[in-house]
C-alpha cells in the first residue's frame, strides 16, 4: 500500500476521463506481461496484439475504469492460478548472465556512439 509519499495520479487525466488512464494501462500491462512470463518463460516486447491495441486504447481513455479493473482482476486471477500450478522460471534470476548482457549491451551502444 502506498503511504502517500508517491504521487500516482495525474489530475489532468482524472479530470478528462474520470480516472488515471496511464496508471490503469500500466496496471493491466503488468498483468499481461506476468501471465505471458509465467505461461511461456518469456515476454514479447513490444506487447503483442490484441493487448497492444487494447492497452493503447485504455491509455487514450477508450476503455472505462470498470473495464480496466475487470481486465486487471481477470489477469490477477490467472496469475494466481499460474503461480499455484508452478512456473517454468527458475527460483532465482541468473544475475551473472544479466550482468554480462548489460556490460555487452552498454559496450556496444557506447562503441556505436563513438
What's the domain range around 82?
Answer: 11-113
Per-residue pLDDT for the chain (114 aa), expressed as one digit of tens each? 445 555 667 888 888 999 999 999 999 999 999 999 999 888 999 999 999 999 999 999 999 999 999 999 999 999 999 999 987 778 888 999 999 999 999 999 998 887
76 in a domain, yes or no?
A: yes
Structural domains in the chain (count) = 1
Q: Please provide residue 107's backbone torsions phi and psi, each rounded to the nearest 5 degrees.
A: -60, -40
Q: Please provide residue 57's backbone torsions phi and psi, each rounded to the nearest 5 degrees.
A: -65, -40
Give the integer Cα–Cα distance in Å for 71 and 113.
42
61 in a domain, yes or no?
A: yes
pLDDT at 1 (0 to 100): 40
Alpha-carbon dihedral sign for residues 102, 98, 34, 5: negative
51 in a domain, yes or no?
A: yes
5 in a domain, yes or no?
A: no
86 in a domain, yes or no?
A: yes
Is the separation of the CB atoms in 21 and 61 below 8 Å?
Answer: yes
66 in a domain, yes or no?
A: yes
4 in a domain, yes or no?
A: no
pLDDT at 27 (0 to 100): 96
pLDDT at 88 (0 to 100): 75
* CA within 13 Å, CB half, 90: 4
- The pTM assigned to this predicted structure is 0.76
pLDDT at 8 (0 to 100): 64
2 in a domain, yes or no?
A: no
pLDDT at 87 (0 to 100): 79
CA-wise closest residue to 72 among 51, 88, 87: 51
Amino acid at each position: 500500500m502506498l503511504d502517500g509519499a508517491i504521487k500516482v495520479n495525474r489530475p489532468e487525466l482524472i479530470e478528462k476521463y474520470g480516472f488515471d488512464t496511464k496508471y490503469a494501462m500500466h496496471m493491466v500491462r503488468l498483468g499481461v506481461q506476468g501471465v505471458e512470463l509465467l505461461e511461456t518463460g518469456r515476454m514479447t516486447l513490444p506487447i503483442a496484439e490484441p493487448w497492444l491495441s487494447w492497452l493503447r486504447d485504455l491509455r487514450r481513455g477508450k476503455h472505462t475504469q470498470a473495464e480496466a479493473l475487470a481486465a486487471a482482476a481477470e489477469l490477477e486471477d490467472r496469475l494466481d492460478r499460474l503461480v499455484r500450478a508452478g512456473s517454468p522460471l527458475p527460483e532465482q534470476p541468473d544475475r551473472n548472465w544479466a550482468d554480462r548482457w548489460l556490460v555487452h549491451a552498454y559496450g556496444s551502444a557506447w562503441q556505436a556512439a563513438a
